[in-house]
Amino acid sequence: MNVNAVTGDAPVWEASMDFSGRTVLLTGGAGGLGIDIALAFADAGARVIALDIRDDRGADLLSRAVGTTGEVLYEHVDLSQLDALPGELDRIVSAHGPVDILINNAAIYPARPFDEYTVEDYRAVQAVNVDAHVQCMLSLAPGMRARGWGRIINVASITFYGGWDKLFPYVASKGALVGLTRAWARELGPFGITVNAIAPGAFPTDAEKIHPDPEGYARFVLEHQSLKRRGSPRDIAGTMMFLASDYSAFITGQTLNVDGGWVMK
């Protein structure tokens, strides 16, 4: 949706869920949520550049992307290697063109009692879950600003609202993403860039393998959700597409819970 530069008024409604001609950079693109997000955008015509370090999962993503309307590319990029990340991002942009939509999805989530973590453990989580995504924004947002359009979507978590033990570095990292969402939205809004966050609830992905009693945990989830079914990664993907489209062009700085009505804030 283009905006009248003089009046600030939006023209006749033009929004759609067609992402043809758009390039998405997705961190954690071969993960439990990432694969479905990548395929959803590719089905809608986008070029998706999926970053991950799990090459077997990347190969699975590429095989599943065959026949989509758009295109999925896989890049082995280790987000924990912060010194190398700017160069990797420059290389990707040089090879594949400018990025229109940045989805900061990658995360690590060790689980143990708080006094069993070291400061180094804490910093390792922040490096992947926060610092790498700050670098992605710093590398890619200037191009969005120059073109006068962009979407940045951060993946937070409902754990930020409290009530989860053994995850304090992870919870802290997700709180940081909520704060960054608000700060970036304020600064980048004048350039036609929206910045929002999604806070997923409990989804049956690899992240749940940290729980010793999967069936008991599934019962716990359904007891707390208003909707009595488990969420699907496609539920996250659909919300991502909404926030990346011009249907949400007047929404920025917000965190949207996608959790079946567990946390209502």
**pLDDT tens, residue by residue, 34-68:** 999 999 999 999 999 999 999 999 999 999 999 99
Is 81 inside a domain boundary? yes
Domain contains 204: yes
Q: Is residue 5 part of a domain?
A: no
Mean pLDDT (whole number) for 184-197: 98
pLDDT greater than 50 at residue 4: no
Tokens of 207: 């992240």
pTM of the predicted structure, to 2 decimals: 0.91
Catalytic residue among 74, 109, 161, 170: 170
Taking residues 165-192, what's their average pLDDT? 97
Residue 263 lies in a domain: no
| 9 within domain boundaries | no
Residue bearing the bigger pLDDT, 180 or 216: 180
Q: Is residue 11 part of a domain?
A: no
- Look at the chain and report how many structural domains it folds into: 1
Residue 265 in this model has a pLDDT that exceeds 90: no
User: What's the domain range around 222?
Assistant: 23-258
Within-domain flag for 166: yes
Kindly report the CATH number assigned to the domain that includes residue 50: 3.40.50.720
For the question of residue 161 being annotated catalytic, the response is no
Q: Output b/e per residue, 165-203; b: 16+ Cβ within 10 A.
A: eebbbbbebbbbbbebbeebbeebeeebbbbbbbbbbbb
